[in-house]
Amino acid sequence: MAPAIVTSGGDIPEFEGRITFTVIICVVIAAFGGLMFGYDIGISGGVSAMDDFLKEFFPAVYEKKSHALENNYCKYDNQFLQLFTSCLYIAALVASFIASKCCTKLGRKPTMQIASLFFLLGVVLTASAVNMEMLIFGRISLGFGVGFGNQAVPLFLSELAPAKIRGALNISFQLFITIGIFIANMVNYVTSKIHPYGWRISLAIAGIPALMLCIGSLAICETPTSLIERNKLEEGKAVLKKIRGVDHVDLEFDSIVVACDQAKQITNPYRKLMKRESRPPLVIAIILQVFQQFSGINAIMFYAPVLFQTVGFGNDASLLSSVITGIVNVASTMVSIYAVDRIGRKLLLIEASVQMFVTQTIIGIILVIGLKPTGNLEPKQAMAVVFLVCIYVAGFAWSWGPLGWLIPSETFPVETRTSGFAFAVSTNMLCTFIIAQAFLSMLCSMQAGIFFFFAAWILVMGMFSIFFLPETKGVPVDAMVERVWKQHWFWKRYMTHLDGTELKPRKSDLAHQTMT
């Protein structure tokens, strides 16, 4: 996930400073926040496919699954089983609004500490659960951890990073998420062989990153922006010197003070966000999150083992296949770190949309032809499905995954940046909740058609990227209005001249709309 505020931007003057040990330590510790989130995304699908877990909490699903003649597509369809995965995201949605207040009033560091405490409580409740209530309350507590963590950690990272490496650090947070997902997949693979309590180990291991974040956060410093925002100017300057490793920080210090002053002048950023000229970045931020989730990625991240079992793999092979998709996810996110500032956002998104559209469509066709409600796919067809899922995940991981977070974090002007980003976070959580809650039922009712459903979304996503998404590569964050929005054939109609009159699009703009 991405930063919610950028302390300086625009034509960034070369602030003095180097990448200090303090910054490295802070980044490593904050990274546990990303691992915490990723681990949770990856763990629930594998756990919900484990028989020991199902026997204890979802005996009806277990019965259905063991029933030889049960419809392949409906084995796991159970609202409570989906609630196990999805309630975390609804809790995270609520928590992110509380956490954004907490970040401003108390600081980023205490918000991260609160996140780790919620997370630890959630881990204890879920790993030791003896009834459904413990399980659901545990997941809700984990959700609060995710909501607090996802608001504070990216903010913390971006405010701490020297401006030159802010973009790379931004995507690094997504990298930690994917590493968390991958570790979860491997853990599930091992613990699924430990009976009858392997699932408890899977859930308990989530405590490790949370504990590291909790203990580690005692050692890190608060960000200069957060201190200055709360009028602790001297302390802010001292921390800035420490993290930059130099004494001459006046230029950067002044720019943070100016940014904070500007932000303070807007008493109600949410009202400002509803104004006409805020519409382009707001619509883009919200739509990117909806698209990111309706691409179907979390149907795979949460339910890959379940999905692979559906197409006919045994328990073991299914978990192993999700380990493979986990590796592809991590490696392809690294591609994105390399490519994003070279190739640009728009081309990556368009290329990946084609790749993801083609793979989802072929998976759908293979399932329509090969997977009847009872019986399995031919081994070759099942292998092809795993291969195609990998190609699909690769496309997502170098485009919609990281860029869904990066673009909203760089397109808002400073005064609406945090509030605008909070909309992005909560839209993401809401859409993740919808997918997590609905996917297994959709699989049951739409059968292979679900893949065409996602493919149709991907087609719309690609079209949107071609026509409506401006390229923001290399544009300083504070120059977006002039250089991006006011130049775009469509979005410029929402912009005003300095005298307040509207910028009207010309007819000829339509002809060159595509690659602006």
Positions in the binding site for ligand BGC (CB under 6 A): 41, 174, 177-178, 181, 292, 297-298, 301, 329, 401, 404, 428, 432
CB of 178 vs ligand BGC, minimal distance in Å: 5
Nearer to ligand BGC (CB atom), residue 183 or residue 371: 183
Residue pair 177/1 in contact by the 8 Å Cβ criterion = yes
Nearer to ligand BGC (CB atom), residue 223 or residue 322: 322
Residue 205 CB partners (closer than 8 Å, separation 6+): 39, 187
CB of 406 vs ligand BGC, minimal distance in Å: 10
Nearer to ligand BGC (CB atom), residue 182 or residue 412: 182
Nearer to ligand BGC (CB atom), residue 163 or residue 301: 301
How far is it, in rounded angstroms, from Cα 126 to Cα 138?
5
Structure tokens at 6: 């950028």
CB of 174 vs ligand BGC, minimal distance in Å: 6
Which is nearest to 177 in space by CA: 32, 328, 333, 35?
Answer: 35
Which is nearest to 332 in space by CA: 479, 178, 202?
Answer: 178
Percentage helix, strand, coil, to 5, in the chain? 75, 0, 25
Residue 229, sorted as left (phi over 0), alpha (psi -120 to 50) or beta, turns out to be: alpha
CB count within 10 Å of CB 512 equals 9
Nearer to ligand BGC (CB atom), residue 153 or residue 259: 153
Nearer to ligand BGC (CB atom), residue 303 or residue 494: 303
CB of 304 vs ligand BGC, minimal distance in Å: 11
Which is nearest to 136 in space by CA: 181, 103, 90?
Answer: 90
Residue pair 116/214 in contact by the 8 Å Cβ criterion = yes
Nearer to ligand BGC (CB atom), residue 181 or residue 259: 181
Q: How far are the Cα atoms of 300, 334, 470 from residue 395, in angstroms, in the given order?
A: 13, 12, 20
CB of 209 vs ligand BGC, minimal distance in Å: 16
Nearer to ligand BGC (CB atom), residue 100 or residue 289: 289
Alpha-carbon Rg for the chain in angstroms = 23
Nearer to ligand BGC (CB atom), residue 26 or residue 92: 92
CB of 166 vs ligand BGC, minimal distance in Å: 18
Task: Report the greatest alpha carbon distance in the chain.
Answer: 73
Nearer to ligand BGC (CB atom), residue 214 or residue 324: 324
CB of 324 vs ligand BGC, minimal distance in Å: 14
Q: How far are the Cα atoms of 246, 345, 511 from residue 27, in angstroms, in the given order?
A: 19, 25, 46
Q: Which amino acid is at 97?
A: F
- How many Cα atoms occupy the beta-carbon half-sphere of 234 within 13 Å? 0
Q: Report the residue closest to ligand BGC, judged by CB.
A: 401
CB of 360 vs ligand BGC, minimal distance in Å: 16
Which is nearest to 39 in space by CA: 190, 163, 203?
Answer: 203
CB of 295 vs ligand BGC, minimal distance in Å: 10
CB of 389 vs ligand BGC, minimal distance in Å: 13
Nearer to ligand BGC (CB atom), residue 92 or residue 161: 92
Nearer to ligand BGC (CB atom), residue 319 or residue 431: 431
Residue pair 127/137 in contact by the 8 Å Cβ criterion = no
What would the 3-class secondary structure string for 435-502 be? HHHHHHHHHHHHCCHHHHHHHHHHHHHHHHHHHHCCCCCCCCHHHHHHHCHHHCCCHHHHCECCCCCE
Structure tokens at 513: 């709309």
Q: How far are the Cα atoms of 186, 250, 373, 436 from residue 303, in angstroms, in the given order?
A: 15, 51, 19, 9
CB of 171 vs ligand BGC, minimal distance in Å: 10
Omega before residue 196 within 30° of 0, cis: yes
CB of 227 vs ligand BGC, minimal distance in Å: 30
Nearer to ligand BGC (CB atom), residue 145 or residue 401: 401
CB of 93 vs ligand BGC, minimal distance in Å: 13
* Residue 496 bridge partners (DSSP): 502
